[in-house]
Structure 1
Amino acid sequence: MKNREERVREEKNIEFLNEHQKAKTRFLKNISIVFILTFIFMSAYELSKQAIFPGITIWTSHIVTIIVTTILAVIIASIPLLRTERLILQLDRKQNEIERMETSILKSNKKLNMLSSITRHDMLNLLTVITAYTEMIADADAVRKNPENNSYVQKIQRSVRSLNNVVISTRDYQDIGVNAPAWIDVRETFRKVYLSNSWFHQLRAIDPEEEIEIYADSMFERVLYNLMDNTMRHATGASAISLSFSREDETGCLFFRDDGPGIPEDEKEKIFNHSYGKNSGLGLFLVREILGITDITISENGVPGEGACFRITIPPDRWRFTGAD
């Protein structure tokens, strides 16, 4: 599979060749029209000269007419061609500027990613120290024999564990936006996520029938993981998950479904909010953020009591059937 830079370069070359071919076609068309019109005009002009100056031969008039006509036709027809060439050069310069900006943004993201990794490492070290000291305090007689003090220490320990889980969860998402989006095979990614995590094998998985690719962030694999994980954690009694595709005009739609109890109407939007939920509260929130990088949206439109249904809406230029150029 070609990477994004190769595809952009290839598309730019194709666009350039198409514009150049159109310009040549317009040039030939214009030169033909101008040649005919100029030839008619010059012929009439030469004939009128012969009437005034009978000494000029007919062949001399024709030769002069053809030469003048050709020169004028080339000059007039070349004007649109030169304009097109300048336009193509301007587009090429703008494309180069965009590529340089994208490269700078990617470098900045990688530096921020490194800083985030260092900060997370230091925070986990400090949390380890806090955890050790709270365990020592919890074992002290003044705490074990005093229910009120023991309750305070337990609350501190729960808070420390929650903060530790949040810090660890950020490791999974440090690469969001670091790498350029790419075309991703949906069926292959769905199978990979399901097969590489034995916890999900408690569920029966139904692959999408269509072979499609979507243009998404490189962490699309994590999107599917979080949706499966959401079923395992919250869809009590669920036995199956499925991913399907449908086309609505030029828009593509992926549907991730499970056969659990579904999601209540008043929670369908809340589940995508930051810190909403029983665990870190980042799962579905970051699913929406990852998809949003390439203007893909997600919503939940299942029927409560009949299972969850996450609809992933893909813009027309962000999906294609496998094998399309």
Structure 2
Amino acid sequence: MDGKGILNVRNRSFSLYLLIAMVFLIVIVVGLVSVNDYNNTKKMFDRNSQHLQRQTEQDIIATIRLTDESYTLYDTSLNDQMRRGFDAVLLEYQRTDGIPSRMDLMKIKHDLGDPFDIYIINESGVIEFTTYAPELGLDFKKTPYFFTYLTTIRNSEGFFPDHIVEEMSGSGQLRKFAYMPTPDHRYVLELGLAKPAFSGERSAIQYREAVDRIASANPYIDQIRIFNVWGDLAGNSSVEPDSSTRIALEQVTRQRGDLSVARPETGQTVKYLFIDLKSEQYGSDPSRIVEITYDDTLFMKNAGEHAQFHLLIAILALIVGICSAFVLSRHLSDPIAGIVRDVDRISDGDLDWKISPTNLKEFQVLEQSINRMVLSLKTGIMEVQDEKTFQQEMINQLPVAVFVKNATDGKYIFWNKTSEEIYCLKISDVIGKTARELFPEFMAKEIEAHDRETIINGRCARNRNGPDAQNRGRFFHIVTVLIPDSAGKPRYILGMAQDLTGEAALLKQDLISSITRGDILDQLAVIMNSLERAQLKTSEDAIQAFFDNTIGSVESIRNQIGFMRTLQDLGIVSPKWQNAATAFESAIALMSVSRTDIRAETGNFEVYTDPLLPRVFYELLENSHRHSGRQLTAIRLSAHISEKSLHLIYADNGVGIPCDQKQKIFEFRYGTGTGMGLFLVREILGFTAITITENGEPGNGVRFGIIVPKGKWRVRE
């Protein structure tokens, strides 16, 4: 959407936006008030329900503790009767010299009365002898805390009463128990008093009815059950609790603390209250576990009704507020309608239009501000257009190619006239396209690689050989610079390219001429030396040998001069396809007469490189002869393909190159002579991305590896 579309939303009015804003504000206010009121009421509701829950649980605990105190008073009233009963049992134990099997327990039971039963518990916590057959052999080790209690009694002195509790075996009737150790501390004597009146007397102080009345006052309680520490339902041990309840009861008993269990599938929460009634004075544990099942669904239902009430009030408030907002928005938007229409006309491009005057002070200020802004905008647009025209024309007249592309997608957005001349592409064909849409694949890949380097390093400079509009070989120097946005992220790539064909040709010619002059002077020195030495010889054969050397040197000078003339006629800038073996033979022709066995075993491989390839091979040959002397007898140039690259191997059997000089020999003016031979070799090959390294073994000759990348070599059919 353009700027005009943003200002000219014809299907909506300012009054509508004002109404929406007011409605939005009303919704926020009503919503916040309603939510706040609901939350406060809900918190109060939660506090009341929690208080009711705590009060209910505290009342239940108090009722059970009060009932237990009543039981304790009743139990205590029977202690003297139980103490007197132990006198007869101890007399019988002493009569039999502490041998329980010889004791007449039934006679003692008869003397004490039928309600009494006698138990003799051994050191292992097992009832070994008793008048109550159902509990014979009962093992108290299965109840660790009670076995510990019995062991303490056995090792102590005195009388130890217990509560009225249900017997662990038999019919489960209520019994009053008491314990006393034997004088020799080998056994614990136990008396159990079972009166039929126990049930009736204790029923008068039962807590169940009081607990039910307390629970009925709490509408959220669904069920209450009371268990003993054995997990049996108090008052009805025949009812077996389910497995989940049994697990919860065991956990409560083990930790002797309360526990809450949520049951979301039934909408209930079960609270287990542990009421600790155990006394150190008694062995049995009369503690109770009260299971209270709360109905959460009732609470949620009440909360839902409360929320519905607040929602109804909020809806009524919204309806009243929206109606008021509608009337008010219509009234406030009328003065603005005229300004909107004027601004809409200005946004359509009529910058000469003025905002209509109004009678309100605030809108008069707005009117004047908009008129000044439009005038400033009009002036600024004209200045920007003039500046843009000036910059465009200035860049178009530059003698270098200038282009700009997006750093993200690589699409060109600017292309000056010099770029059209250098790249032979019109601006209308370039803008909005990428390198892959404009150039051959190999060239597009090269450009993309340089773009990535520019984004990483901030700039990239490179040289490139290529044809111009007349398909003549040219040499270009290209520099690209990254232009980031305000956040520092890559946005544009600015590129400049300059045709340096003439400068490169002159530089290369000067370099070759300088080296050639040095070689010719060397050959002239050989000729002069041979002539001087020939004058000293008397035999015709010796003189002829010196003349042969002189002729070879003259021939070398003539070939080098001819090679330079050929380069001047053909041009020495643009690369071309050259047969490697032919170029090597041309290099041999530039040499003076040599007895060295020189051969090229390269087959029909052709290399796309600088026309000075023969000069490359000549410098390698000259280097071998200059440094190896008489040891040199053979030179070979071979070729093989490895990993899609062509490897040309130049090797001789001379003295080789020391390891510490293998890199230095390619430096400018290193070594004897001009010091530019191997430097020239590396530079000439580097114009077409061909590399050269020396990896021979010192003492066994040189081995130069020339690696020609894919696309720069071929096999001539």
TM-score with structure 2 setting the length: 0.23
Structure number with the higher strand fraction is 2
Q: Report 1 or 2 for greater relative contact order, CA contacts < 8 Å, sequence distance ≥ 6.
A: 1
Q: Which is helix-richer, 1 or 2?
A: 1
Larger Rg: 2
TM-score, normalised with respect to structure 1 = 0.49
